[in-house]
Amino acid sequence: MTQVRTRFAPSPTGRLHVGNLRVAVFNHLFTRRHGGEFILRVEDTDVERNVEGSLEGIMEDLRWAGLDWDEGPGIEGGDRGPYRQSERGALYLEAARRLEEQGRVYRCFCPDEGPERERDGAAQLGCPGGCRWLSDEERTRRLKAGEPAVLRFATPDEPVSFRDEVRGVIAMSAKDLGDFVILRADGRPTYNFAVVVDDVGMEITHVIRGAGHLSNTPKQVLLFDALGVERPVFAHLPTVLGPDRKKLSKRRGAPGVADFRRQGIPADAVVNYLSLLGWSPGDDREILSRDELVAAMDLGRIGASNTIFDPEKLHWVSSQHIAGLSLRALAEAVIPYLDRSRFPLDDEEVAPALDAIRTRIGAFGEVNEHLELLFPPKERFEAGQAELASDPGAPGVLEAVRAALTAVESWEAETLAGAVRSAGKEAGARGKSLFHPVRLALTGDRQGPELGKVLAGLGRDRVLRRLDRSLEALAGGVEEGGHSTGVSQDPSGS
């Protein structure tokens, strides 16, 4: 195969959302699989729709997702630029001139009927005013008189067909296409023309894009043929629907990179999940690393039917990726999300605390919710203390556990769990009568993550302090014959 060259061609009208990010993902994985070049091209000719700053946002979104590009904005060099359509005006005019010389296009003086009519096609060859059949003299006369004219492609009167890697051969009658405009009266190219001139100039070998573009492709293949350039391979990805089975769109609130970042879904999980929207690796794997995705990506396994974006499935994929992270990597990823006002942890205390709760974390942003298992809000802690006060065995158990833990040298989950068990033997308590008081004293709850990991996660000082507080409260409570005291100062923070 010649060097694979693909492109992602967003319009700078906003940030990336599930739909267009998925297109970038497929292009990127496919290109990396073949050691090719991935190009970022900016389709910014529709000046009114351009949104200030959105190209920078799109580039940031792509970088976050790890979808690096080889040519385009932000990359030095690249000899097939410029990579912004707004800077390619001369190239469009030059290509139009070549087509005009070859008699493949003609000037049309029909009044501008607006983009809707244009998109529908003229439903017959020629234009409404028959400009295709004007004599040369007549055409020259009108041009000289300064009549505004668009440039239309003279669609040959024969069926147009092309091969789509996903759907096979697609054919359309020339009449359905009509003679479409390639240059507007002011000289600006239409979408289909600009895309083809760019794809030719940038030597794009594979056009991978959403099925929404299928209706444009017949016009584009006619232009490739007319320019005498080999057509690229086309693969149109199935449409992504929302959970409500309606087409996802930015306007209808499709989630985007900003949402994934806020939730703390790892970029690898997002890329993995999006790759499964319309594709599968051909076996039953659903969790794939970047390298595995690159190795497996194949246009032949893209499906044609609509696919549904399922946020719950994305969350599951995210949790699987998080489960595969080392504790250190997880801690690093989670620190920016940590609410330090609620959880006064030093950086080195984060990893052990996370070890207790990591199996529950589906996205980095959930860390705060789960850390409450170790650092409960005051009310829950106090409720736990009250419950403790009604357990006559509690003081004995807590004394024995405290003594055993004080003697532990290496403060690690397994050793700590062992120490609690042997303390239980000493105090004649096991099962619930051992674990409930310990958990209530430490976390305010009878249940929770593995006890050894809770102890390791809290650290020696906090554990001993919390046990002391409970013991004091129990002692005080007994004396006063009523409610425990001495636990009302922010226990979770200590």
Please give the positions annotated as active site: 250
- What is the rounded distance in angstroms from the CA atom of residue 242 to the CA atom of residue 244? 5
Residue nearer to ligand GLU on the CB measure, 11 or 443: 11
The tokens for 412 are: 């690690």
Q: Please identify, among the stretches 6-14, 60-68, 312-320, 420-428, the one whose residues bind ligand GLU according to the rule CB under 6 A.
A: 6-14
Do the beta carbons of residue 30 and residue 6 sit within 8 Å? yes
Which one of the spans 5-13, 122-130, 227-235, 423-431 is the region binding ligand GLU (CB under 6 A)? 5-13
Q: Of 7-15, 337-345, 423-431, 463-471, which part binds ligand GLU (CB under 6 A)?
A: 7-15
* Other Cβ atoms within 10 Å of 171 Cβ, number: 9
Q: Looking only at Cα atoms, what is the longest distance across the chain?
A: 114
Q: Are strands 160-164 and 168-172 parallel, antiparallel or unpaired?
A: antiparallel
CA pair distance 190, 196, nearest whole angstrom: 10
CA dist 2 and 7 (Å) reads 16
**Shortest spacing between CB 193 and ligand GLU, in angstroms:** 12
> For residues 6 and 470, which CB has a smaller minimum distance to ligand GLU in the complex?
6
Task: List the interface residues with ligand GLU, window 132-161 (CB under 6 A).
Answer: none
Identify which of residues 195 and 293 has a Cβ nearer to ligand GLU in the complex: 195
Size of the site for ligand GLU (CB under 6 A): 7
Closer to ligand GLU by CB, 156 or 210: give it.
Answer: 210
276: nearest Cα among 240, 248, 251: 240
Nearer Cβ to ligand GLU (28/209): 209
- Cα–chain center distance at 431: 45
Binding ligand GLU (rule: CB under 6 A), the pick from 105, 181, 195, 221 is 195
Is residue 9 close enough to count as binding ligand GLU by CB under 6 A? yes
* 32-91 positions binding ligand GLU, by CB under 6 A: 43
Token representation of residue 53: 């700053």
* Distance from the first to the final alpha carbon of the chain: 64
Q: Residue from 33, 84, 213, 446 that binds ligand GLU (CB under 6 A)?
A: 213
Q: Which of 152, 209, 219, 402 binds ligand GLU (CB under 6 A)?
A: 209
11 near ligand GLU, rule: CB under 6 A: yes
Told to check if 322 binds ligand GLU by CB under 6 A, we report: no
Distance CA 230, CA 144 (A): 36
Rounded alpha-carbon distances, angstroms, from residue 412 to 220, 359, 405, 418, 436: 65, 18, 11, 10, 21
* Nearest residue (beta carbon) to ligand GLU: 209
Point out which residues bind ligand GLU (CB under 6 A).
Answer: 9-11, 43, 195, 209, 213
